[in-house]
Amino acid sequence: MTRLTFLTPWLAAVAVALCVQFPAQAQERFTLSIPGVSDNRLFTSAAASDASGCGGKNQSPALSWNAGPQGTLSYAIVMHDPDGQKGLGVDHWIHYGIKATTRQIPAGVGAKSALEGVGGTNIKGTTGYIGPCPPIGDSSHHYIIQLYALDLAPDALPAGLTRAQLMEQIKGHVLKNSSVVRRYHR
pLDDT digits (tens, 9 = 90+) for 9-38: 544 444 444 444 444 445 679 999 999 898
**What pLDDT shows up at residue 28?**
78
CA angle 153, 104, 133 (to 5 degrees): 100
Between residues 108 and 14, the one the model is more confident about: 108
Q: What is this structure's pTM?
A: 0.84
Mean pLDDT of 118-129: 95
Q: Let me know: does 108 contact 34? Beta carbons within 8 Å.
A: no
Residue 20 has what pLDDT?
Answer: 43
CATH number attached to the domain at 31-184: 3.90.280.10
**Mean per-residue pLDDT of the chain:** 88
pLDDT value, residue 27: 62
Average pLDDT over residues 75-102: 97
Cα–Cα dist 61/86, whole Å: 24
pLDDT tens for residues 157-183? Answer: 999 999 999 999 999 999 999 999 999
Taking only the tens place, the pLDDT of each residue in 49-72 is 998 788 899 999 999 999 999 999
Q: What is residue 186's predicted lDDT score, i.e. its pLDDT?
A: 87
Distance CA 126, CA 44 (A): 23
Which amino acid makes up residue 18? Answer: L
Helix (H, G, I), strand (E, B) or coil at 8: helix
Query: What mean pLDDT do residues 69-88 have?
Result: 97
Between the alpha carbon of residue 56 and those of residues 60, 69, 133, 184, the distances in Å are 11, 36, 9, 11
pLDDT computed for residue 9 by the predictor: 52
